[in-house]
Chain A
Amino acid sequence: DAKTTQPPSMDCAEGRAANLPCNHSTISGNEYVYWYRQIHSQGPQYIIHGLKNNETNEMASLIITEDRKSSTLILPHATLRDTAVYYCIVRLMNSGGYQKVTFGTGTKLQVIP
């Protein structure tokens, strides 16, 4: 399984861009990078995912390096409601077509007024 490494915590000023890094140096060619966030103890919420191209949606942008060994989630204008734990995960498909998903401990993002 490709493992991910994220900083345990980050701060970001309200209104500024929040850039959350993730290292996945053992990622293989058919594995996607996914980002989720969890606000307090609610169920994790899907944000964005990508394979090798940069992606953008209404919530965030995902920048994946050319060698795919790391990625950055960008929240362009962070608000207080973006305070959450952000998880970077890599989706594995094993030989039987079954998927196994591993969440790490994520990055706790604190948006400061």
Chain B
Amino acid sequence: EAQVTQNPRYLITVTGKKLTVTCSQNMNHEYMSWYRQDPGLGLRQIYYSMNVEVTDKGDVPEGYKVSRKEKRNFPLILESPSPNQTSLYFCASSYQRGTSDLPQYFGPGTRLTVL
């Protein structure tokens, strides 16, 4: 089944304790992206990646890191989480073909609470 998976789905942690949220897709998509969703603010893009070893900042990259060493994986790293990073996080992927781009497929979400 074609899908985007995220782990963990739920995480409660404390301020300053490094964590990684994994994202994996099995559709051979070039493009992958991370979003966070907060009440009243909609979905905001954190980082995106056009392909292996190619990443760029979205609208709210502060406090986050990403890496794209393999095409299928795009982990989100919080080196020193803070309470303002408490949010619902989504990973997404899509093909990337010039201007005829195709829709993004989203993972199920990771609900992160930083105490």
Our pick among B4, B50, B105, B106 for the contact of A97 (Cβ within 8 Å) is B50
- Hey, which chain B residues are within 8 Å of A30, CB to CB? 99
Q: Is B109 touching A41 in the complex (CB atoms < 8 A)?
A: yes
- Hey, which chain B residues are within 8 Å of A93, CB to CB? 98-99, 101
Our pick among B33, B104, B111 for the contact of A46 (Cβ within 8 Å) is B104
CA distance A103 to B105 in the complex (A): 14
Q: Is A99 touching B48 in the complex (CB atoms < 8 A)?
A: yes
Secondary structure at the A interface, as helix, strand, loop or mixed, is loop
Residue of A nearest to B45 (CB): A101
Q: Is A43 touching B101 in the complex (CB atoms < 8 A)?
A: no
Q: Is B104 touching A101 in the complex (CB atoms < 8 A)?
A: yes
Residue of A nearest to B98 (CB): A97
Q: Is B101 touching A87 in the complex (CB atoms < 8 A)?
A: no
Given A30-B99, A93-B101, A101-B104, also A44-B43 (CB < 8 A):
yes
Given A87-B42, A97-B98, also A46-B109 (CB < 8 A):
no
Does any Cβ of A come within 8 Å of B74's Cβ? no
Residue of B nearest to A43 (CB): B106
- Hey, which chain B residues are within 8 Å of A91, CB to CB? 101
Q: How many residues on the A side are at the interface (Cβ–Cβ under 8 A)? A: 24
Residues 73-113 of A contacting B (Cβ, < 8 Å):
87, 91, 93, 97-106
Given A43-B106, A44-B43, output 12 extra A-B contacts at Cβ < 8 Å. Answer: A30-B99, A32-B101, A36-B103, A36-B104, A43-B4, A43-B108, A44-B90, A93-B101, A99-B96, A100-B48, A101-B48, A105-B41
User: Which residues of A approach B to under 8 Å, CB–CB?
Assistant: 30, 32, 34, 36, 41-46, 49, 87, 91, 93, 97-106
8 closest Cβ pairs, A-B complex: A43-B106, A103-B43, A46-B103, A105-B42, A44-B106, A103-B42, A30-B99, A104-B42
CB<8 Å pairs between A and B, sample of 20: A44-B43, A44-B104, A46-B105, A87-B43, A93-B98, A97-B98, A98-B48, A98-B50, A98-B56, A99-B31, A100-B45, A101-B33, A101-B45, A102-B44, A102-B45, A102-B59, A103-B42, A103-B44, A104-B42, A106-B42
